[in-house]
Amino acid sequence: MSSLGDFIAGLPKAELHVHHVGSASPRIVSELAARHPGTVPADLDELREFFEFRDFAHFIEVYLAVVDLVRTPDDVRMLTYEVAREMATSQSLRYAELTCTPYTSVRPDRDDLGMPIEAYTEALEDARVAAERDFGLVLRWIYDIPGESGIPAADATLTYALDHAPEALVGFGLGGPEIGVPRPQFQPHFDAARAAGLHAVPHAGETTGPETVWDAIRHLGAVRIGHGTSSAADPELLAHLAAEQITLEVCPSSNIATRAIATLSDHPLVEFVRAGVPVTINSDDPPMFGTTLNAEYAIAADLLSLSTEGVADLARGAVRASFAPPDVQSRILGEIDAYVSEAYDAG
């Protein structure tokens, strides 16, 4: 291996915190924009300029523009399949849990927009089966409440998860802004989802303090936390996360983009690891934040001063923290071990 970057690029990986629509690259958005002419340019060069991250407000603008382009079941299918293609071919992903927000595609609040949840589900599953067949990438779904849309969106998302669950649904999440969206109000929804066998994986503690993470644990039954960045400010919380082995899904570039962290040198990843908190490395909304999973691994390697073996341990940790079936976990862990062994032999 000529460099750590080369090692990371080929390392078999799993990703646990990555958004479905937020993974649409300019290439994919260009095809969607050609299908639905309007406010988003279809020209690839113009789109690349549109995607160049400027600030968090610009990210929201891009994200909502892409959401508006996903209008039909065929759009959902194409987006999902093409995201899977890019994950497998350019990031060496073997497994991913994609966070989907069906509410923004079904749109029960608008008569003139949206698609039936049955059609949305069928499109997701058709793409999943095709992606595993064609790229060897195993996909699982996390259904996400858009917190800014309140209890009506939570009610609808729970209905989609319980009454229209795709075969590969494994988790129930909560995204959107944290400020002004208290976690405890969603406890009944998470209680019902967990009773149905879904894992609780809410976002918490990225743009608010440690109390939001406590709320996610105490009220929502979180077994993993999306971001959890502010946990470092509370030693008792760090000790609890470590003792209970509640994984933090860390997304360094995203944390910078949202201004949760001022600079990468301020990132609490080192504190999490030092405290024994399990962590995974993730890309969140990679094209929209100008990053990739490979780039996030390189950032983590730099922050933690990791060798190739340490980077491989990060990849193993993500597999073990996943909700993948045991046989899939075993297979990917074996692939990681074989890759490391081959890299050592070549070196």
Question: Which residues have a catalytic role annotated?
Answer: 206
Residues ≥6 apart with Cβ < 8 Å to 74: 123
Name the H helices within the chain. 4-10, 26-35, 44-51, 56-69, 73-91, 103-106, 117-135, 150-163, 187-195, 210-218, 235-244, 252-257, 269-274, 293-304, 308-321, 326-346
**Structure letter (DSSP) for residue 44:** H
In angstroms, the CA 186 to CA 202 distance is 10
- If you compute the radius of gyration of the chain from its CA atoms, what whole number of angstroms results? 19
The type of residue at 6 is D
In angstroms, the CA 315 to CA 297 distance is 9
The type of residue at 138 is V
In angstroms, the CA 191 to CA 330 distance is 30
Phi, psi of 144 (to 5 degrees): -115, 130
